[in-house]
Chains A and B, each alone.
Chain A
Amino acid sequence: MIRFLLNGLLRDRSRSLFPLLTVFFGVLLTVFLQAWINGAITSVVDSTARYRTGHVLVMTRAYAKEADQMPIDLALLGVDTLMTGLRHDDPDLLWTPRISFGGLLDIPDEHHETRAQAPVRGMAVDLLSPDSPERTILDVRDAVVRGRAPVRHGEILVGEDLAERLQIQPGDTATLISSTMYGSMSITNFVVVGTLRFGIVAMDKGTLVADVADIQQALDMADGAGEIIGFFRDGVYHEERANAVAAGFNQRFAAVPSSPTAAFAPVMGTLRTQSGLSDYLDYIDAFSVVIVGVFLVAMFVVLWNAGLTGSLRRYGELGVRLAVGEDKTHVYLTLLAESLLIGVIGSAAGTLAGLTVAYYLQIHGFNIGTIMKDSTMLIPNIVRARVTPLTFVIGFLPGVLATLSGTALSGIGIYKRQTSQLFKELES
């Protein structure tokens, strides 16, 4: 009987090829989209963690409220003590201070007159300590395009785009004009030793990277930092653990609201609660469910219709089979068996093709830099797909299920056929 059914499937293309192609393309798109959306989300999360918030982030309460403004006058003080406590309490995270600041970068000519100027967004990180966690988190050496990474105090890197705009060459002097933590004017000379490109439009437009100690000195922030970030040693965001770390910290540093220093008490947030990422991730999650759902529903409807069309086209065949003495349930089960076979083959082939495309885009990525040129989101120019264990089953199981349920629904008509009408039906 199996050979009989297989022969029917192989010889009757409309019984096999059309449903097979439907399942194939439906599953391919589902697999690819899941991997692509997953890759994009992972990229955003990873970039946000590396370049902005870490996996957890310590700030003063006042700073946290105005974090987008980079209010260094509200920065943390007593950072060394805080860091010692954090490293002791939560050694599974790398802890490092950062200062985000704004300013004007002035490039003098040979007569020390201004040749070019531009506003910059600066990031001060620990570039010089031999055991700096930033070697793992930010790793500026990988991002250097021209010149080299700073190796001594007074050296900075500027974004390649900014360098091109201001015609800065490695070795040039640059003056940072900013304000100190206490509101005084700050003018500090640095040597630009290299240019860098992180591959993220929002980071590359006007970025300056300096060592945290240099900026502490320049902005009069002794033992201060805008924030302390914590980054899981395996580089992966563990939400439950991050929540636990933050809850423990916030309990230890719970401030009395009426205290005059309450605004400067440290508070810890997690990656998900920073930068509106929570809403974004929820939105993307919902969006990916909708996208995959739409494909599955569309596939189910098409296959259901294919099943109905097939049942009509095979009306005579099914009638003969019933007349000859095949039980209705047996006919129904053979239709299900045919669809199961088509579902499994189509879904397997679709999954394989989807994985191939996804793997290709995981390795090579897709450059969206030109589309994102005005974006302030921390999304890399090269977005890569990301294949996870879920990618292997997200198309396969629903593909088989959609094929089976489409046939199951359309095949119910068999039970409605009256054998007493078979002679009439088969002779019309």
Chain B
Amino acid sequence: MQDLPLVVTHALDKTYALGQTTLKALDGIDLAISRGEFVGLVGPSGSGKTTLLNIIGALDVPTSGSAEILGRSVETLTHREAARLRNEHLGFIFQTFNLLPVYTVFENVEFPLLLQGIETGRRKQMVEEALAWVGLADRADSRPSQLSGGQSQRVAIARAIVKKPDVVLADEPTANLDAANSHHIMKTMLQLNRDLHTTFVFATHDEKVIGYLHRTITLVDGRIARDEHAGDSSHS
């Protein structure tokens, strides 16, 4: 299942200026994530999880070092190229779902396909397929306000995977869910990982999520402290 890496970082640094001082959020990150991985960036608050997720998601650029996503250097992308990369190859899942409240479930999931200019019939088929994957085919006409937290996050997952992206990036996807819904969500994503070979990258410190990960990259103070695959352990 695993072949050439989709995400490669080399000596990746990210520094923020805070008044007179600077804060090093990422410090010399060397990382490779291959197709089909189910990997988590874990660590305490301020360890650099979200910063790394931002760079992998072409939402931010490194201060130094390099980050390649699908063979494209993030630091050389224009805003428009980065947006196109996100639109075509990346999916995002947020902690607070962030569904568009005035649109139906169907329309929320359909939105990324509209940006790609996919024709109506094919779009409808893809949305129905995505909703079926997350078990919400019967809620297509509902509004987000009519859904539970777990259902809302499943819609967000459908929105992330409807275009069959290479990588789905999820920042604390279970933080606003109870235990039962958290497990349900994780199982859904795991199933999609198996069926669609979609790579999932999580930023989390939720033990319930960590239990499902095939690979756990632990960040401490912007450095990779551990990089463990399920069943074995290795130190970076």
Residues on A close to B: CB < 8 A?
1, 4, 7-8, 11-12, 15, 316-317, 319-330, 419-420, 422-424, 426-427
Chain B residues with CB under 8 Å of A420's CB are: 54, 59-60
Q: Give 30 CB contacts A-B under 8 Å.
A: A1-B114, A4-B114, A7-B107, A8-B100, A8-B102, A15-B102, A324-B86, A324-B112, A324-B159, A325-B83, A325-B84, A325-B86, A325-B112, A325-B115, A327-B80, A327-B83, A328-B79, A329-B80, A330-B115, A419-B59, A420-B59, A422-B54, A423-B54, A423-B59, A424-B50, A426-B94, A426-B96, A426-B98, A427-B94, A427-B96
A43 CB, min distance to chain B CBs, angstroms = 50
B82 CB, min distance to chain A CBs, angstroms = 7
- Cα distance A183–B83 in the bound complex, in angstroms: 95
A414 CB, min distance to chain B CBs, angstroms = 11
| Interface of chain A: mostly helix, strand, loop or mixed | helix
* Contact with B111, one of A324, A328, A329 (Cβ below 8 angstroms): A324
| Contact indicator B59/A326 (Cβ below 8 Å) | no
A10 CB, min distance to chain B CBs, angstroms = 9
Most buried by B among A316, A325, A330: A325
Chain B residues with CB under 8 Å of A422's CB are: 54, 59
Chain B residues with CB under 8 Å of A4's CB are: 103, 107, 110-111, 114
Please name the 4 residue pairs, one residue from A and one from B, whose CB atoms are nearest each other, closest first.
Answer: A325-B87, A420-B60, A325-B86, A419-B59
- Cα distance A320–B103 in the bound complex, in angstroms: 13
| Contact indicator B98/A423 (Cβ below 8 Å) | no
- Cα distance A424–B102 in the bound complex, in angstroms: 23
Chain A residues with CB under 8 Å of B80's CB are: 327, 329
B92 within 8 A of A: yes
- Cα distance A46–B128 in the bound complex, in angstroms: 71
B129 within 8 A of A: no
| Contact indicator A325/B54 (Cβ below 8 Å) | no
| Contact indicator B79/A325 (Cβ below 8 Å) | no
Residue of B nearest to A327 (CB): B83
B214 CB, min distance to chain A CBs, angstroms = 23
- Cα distance A320–B50 in the bound complex, in angstroms: 16
A215 CB, min distance to chain B CBs, angstroms = 78
List 6 extra interface pairs beyond A324-B87, A326-B87, A427-B95, CB under 8 A: A4-B110, A319-B98, A325-B86, A419-B60, A423-B53, A423-B59
* Contact with A323, one of B59, B79, B172 (Cβ below 8 angstroms): B59
B25 CB, min distance to chain A CBs, angstroms = 10
Chain A residues with CB under 8 Å of B115's CB are: 1, 324-326, 330
* Contact with B100, one of A320, A327, A423, A427 (Cβ below 8 angstroms): A320
Chain B residues with CB under 8 Å of A8's CB are: 100, 102-103
Residue of A nearest to B108 (CB): A320
| Contact indicator A327/B98 (Cβ below 8 Å) | no
Residue of A nearest to B49 (CB): A423
| Contact indicator A316/B98 (Cβ below 8 Å) | yes
Residue of B nearest to A316 (CB): B98
- Cα distance A322–B92 in the bound complex, in angstroms: 11
Chain B residues with CB under 8 Å of A317's CB are: 100-101
B158 within 8 A of A: no
B141 CB, min distance to chain A CBs, angstroms = 12
| Contact indicator A325/B100 (Cβ below 8 Å) | no
Residue of A nearest to B88 (CB): A325
Chain B residues with CB under 8 Å of A321's CB are: 111
Residue of B nearest to A4 (CB): B114
Chain A residues with CB under 8 Å of B90's CB are: 325
Within 8 A of A (CB), among B73-91: 79-80, 82-88, 90
* Contact with B98, one of A320, A329, A330 (Cβ below 8 angstroms): A320
| Contact indicator A7/B103 (Cβ below 8 Å) | yes
